[in-house]
Structure 1
């Protein structure tokens, strides 16, 4: 046992590859390039269907509540598997895990292209989610292992920006391919995936000997039960009602499993997730801000394409083209945040991003069926600039507060909570939308106005989306006090300077 977080005893769990790579390789850029491309491939599949849900409703003759599981099931799978990334990386090495995940993603993508009905497609999308859920945390862990300390802020920004290219390109490409031949939506990344696996096999660091760390199956079981129960609750509460036996049962099951998971992890000598990291104020504040921002972000990713397709009758390709400039703004803002991080620290960037996210969400709470497309593009751009400015600094602050040996545990914890709360947020917003849509439809029908049935439906639908964005705006506001806990500029300047000096000294001695 060694001294751990907040003075508590923590079992030594550093993956073997972490122990071997204490000194960054002078050829770290090769690893970084591989991780950037792999991250792009994973994120591409995460967002590739965001504008395609209405199209799959027509292709398979399915309801939105069923088709939604193409996104929800995928997101849940990524959240469930993310905690295992630390264990698998420790057992097999992060290189093996990264390449295996890319291989699994490639195979599951081919299976998606061969799906014969909506249920088969959902099942194969869940397999995709399992692989993508491993790619993100293991690539982030390897980045922190390989890149010198003084270059990590820029490296994380580049890594994040590669993920931004997914939202920038996937909707446009998927929209076009769905109209041409939907099967190609899932295999378009196949050549790039194969090339990345080959390059990664040649250039990624191998790591040390595998450890004997045991799998925490009790923790895994409790985490899966809690995640599934709460997701099913938030995704269906608009149909069940909060007072229904189903809702109460899933709520009690989810909360009990979550409490049992926390209790078990804190007592375990080899926990699935190192929850003692929450004793670090900086890590906790940064993770809280990231989770809140992710929940607020998901509303725009999900509802704006639905609004444009359902109310403005736009095709998936037209939606993808309209959302291309906002996604590019997201990429530029992410790179800019990396440049500014060393000078300003995380606080001003996260606060500015949260304010922009809340402001744009409030603007989207005022949509009408006749809102111009330019208005949507403008405020999606503002929204994405806010996300780009805040997400990477928030994550950098948390990872920077963790020791090198616990980087793998921190990466797994961050990615797990972001994915799970993202899925829960999506379910929450979906339930809120359906409930408010039905309420507005009844109110407008009772007002005995002279609108046509189509106009009444469109207005109620838009008002339901407005209510969802109003709630999303408050999540942006909630991120501001969490950002203020991340420290002051002087503190962060000293930390960055110290990390750079320490790294230079270590290389000189070597």
Structure 2
């Protein structure tokens, strides 16, 4: 895979010999670059979120089941997390401009392949291919921002970039839901024109910027990271079927833990690591990643996964109407993200992260009380509270981490932040799915014994709702456990670069 990526990037380089260099970029010219990065980030986030309201529909379209269709999200998230560690090396080796163009071109091709899928397994494979390119876009766009935007403008630039990614969660469910009702193939083709425009404009305006040229790629470290991530995901995704004490569960868990420990040892020993794990010696950087991964990602993924399922399976809403219901709450995420950028320089990241984390905990807890007849306004209100909490917290935590590292390690810091977010996101999906299925069996058995006179449909719907409640309660517990991590963030408004 790495040889394919490198050879493909070389092809892009051959087409971009007329690159703009960083010396040609004046302070007034970073806005066109930022607009292109925002467009690329939106394309990536749209592909991530377009499936949120579509899983039940694909169950029916391809006559599949939730455990299989869930891989449209889980597999995508996993490949995104697996490829992200390479972004730092590839950005240093070929420049982040060329890596960005390569990723947009890859998303263009993989989207077309998704549109022509002939069964659920081909769609899962093409979605995983999409995940590879999305895994490169997010870290490379963040790195380019820190390379080309003046230091005193970075906080607001990062906030605008983050807010642009909110357009994905805000618009993707509505757009994809509407297209799903008419022709599901267009879910994947709708952004093809934007991909072409971003590819052309990115070639014209993004500057060529290279701080250093690394040596050979750390292939052994990459292998450890891939094996460890895959093993842990299979463990969390299948433990509800295999059982926690089965030899397969324990085997995958052991392989995952050992592989990641070997990855850490390899990265600390090699002269040219795939990822600069020594960045974790920086307290602010470590705290920012910990807060993002444990507190917010775990809490966030439970919401974007289970709420659409609840609305469609229990309330029988169409994907389009689910998207409409969640549109306004999603837009509050963008507003909160921009507001956090405005307040960051005034009050620092700690208060923003704590305030947002409390809102995430509160919303997760309130979602643990869903019932068969819970009103739409209740769902919309607490989704908005949840999104406001994420918007207030995510960007300040990320910004604090990036500003705490030297400029020559921006690409590695961005890769680490995005890699761990994606890995924790994939693990969170697997974990919450396992919790859901385990509790589903428990609740179904209990309801059959306690209410034998009720219909099978009522028992199944009630068990389904109670299982979602349990998943949100676990999410709230995880978020509460992560609250002390936010205290590690102190007011840090200056960058060492």
TM range (shorter): over 0.9
For 2:172, the equivalent position in structure 1 comes to: 170
Query: Conserved in 2, the CA contact under 8 Å of 1:349 and 1:393?
Result: yes
CA distance in 2, matches of 1:114, 1:107: 11
The Cα shift of 1:210 comes to 7.6
Query: Conserved in 1, the CA contact under 8 Å of 2:211 and 2:408?
Result: no
CA distance in 2, matches of 1:485, 1:209: 30
1:365-404 aligned at under 5 Å gives the runs 365-404=368-407
Query: Conserved in 2, the CA contact under 8 Å of 1:24 and 1:145?
Result: no
Cα shift readout 1:385-404 (whole Å, capped 9, x = no counterpart): 00010000010111111111
Query: Conserved in 2, the CA contact under 8 Å of 1:21 and 1:146?
Result: no
Evaluate the alpha carbon distance shift between residue 210 and residue 471 of structure 1 in structure 2; reply closer, same or farther with a 3 A threshold: same
1:34-73 aligned at under 5 Å gives the runs 34-73=36-75
CA distance in 2, matches of 1:420, 1:105: 20
The Cα shift of 1:362 comes to 0.5
Secondary structure of the residue aligned to 1:445 is helix
Q: Which runs of 4+ in 1 moved over 3 A?
A: 19-26
The Cα shift of 1:213 comes to 2.0
| Structure 2: tracts of 5 or more residues without a match | 1-18
The Cα shift of 1:212 comes to 4.7
For 1:235, the equivalent position in structure 2 comes to: 237
Equivalent of 1:345 in 348, 351, 359: 348
For 1:5, the equivalent position in structure 2 comes to: none
1:99-138 aligned at under 5 Å gives the runs 99-138=101-140
Query: Conserved in 1, the CA contact under 8 Å of 2:96 and 2:209?
Result: yes
The Cα shift of 1:480 comes to 2.2
Equivalent of 2:358 in 352, 355, 368: 355
The Cα shift of 1:444 comes to 1.1
The Cα shift of 1:20 comes to 5.8
Query: Conserved in 1, the CA contact under 8 Å of 2:89 and 2:214?
Result: no
CA distance in 1, matches of 2:159, 2:224: 34
Query: Conserved in 2, the CA contact under 8 Å of 1:24 and 1:148?
Result: no
For 1:312, the equivalent position in structure 2 comes to: 315
For 1:334, the equivalent position in structure 2 comes to: 337
Give the alignment's TM-score, normalised by structure 2.
Answer: 0.94
Cα shift readout 1:339-386 (whole Å, capped 9, x = no counterpart): 110001001110010000000111000111111111101100101000
For 2:261, the equivalent position in structure 1 comes to: 259
Moved more, 473-482 or 168-177: 473-482
The Cα shift of 1:245 comes to 0.8
Query: Conserved in 2, the CA contact under 8 Å of 1:21 and 1:145?
Result: no
For 2:414, the equivalent position in structure 1 comes to: 411
1:477-492 aligned at under 5 Å gives the runs 477-488=480-491, 492=492
The total of aligned residue pairs comes to: 477
The Cα shift of 1:476 comes to 2.2
Secondary structure of the residue aligned to 1:485 is coil
CA distance in 2, matches of 1:190, 1:129: 16
Evaluate the alpha carbon distance shift between residue 427 and residue 198 of structure 1 in structure 2; reply closer, same or farther with a 3 A threshold: same
The Cα shift of 1:445 comes to 1.1
For 2:225, the equivalent position in structure 1 comes to: 223
The Cα shift of 1:450 comes to 3.0
Query: Conserved in 1, the CA contact under 8 Å of 2:92 and 2:211?
Result: no
For 2:276, the equivalent position in structure 1 comes to: 274
Q: Is 1:89 paired with 2:91?
A: yes
Secondary structure of the residue aligned to 1:161 is helix
CA distance in 2, matches of 1:141, 1:22: 18
CA distance in 2, matches of 1:449, 1:120: 42
Query: Conserved in 1, the CA contact under 8 Å of 2:360 and 2:386?
Result: yes
CA distance in 1, matches of 2:265, 2:383: 41
CA distance in 1, matches of 2:480, 2:398: 18
Evaluate the alpha carbon distance shift between residue 230 and residue 24 of structure 1 in structure 2; reply closer, same or farther with a 3 A threshold: farther
Query: Conserved in 1, the CA contact under 8 Å of 2:22 and 2:148?
Result: no
| Structure 1: tracts of 5 or more residues without a match | 1-16, 504-510
CA distance in 1, matches of 2:277, 2:394: 22
The Cα shift of 1:209 comes to 8.8
Give the alignment's TM-score, normalised by structure 1.
Answer: 0.91
Secondary structure of the residue aligned to 1:269 is coil
For 1:98, the equivalent position in structure 2 comes to: 100
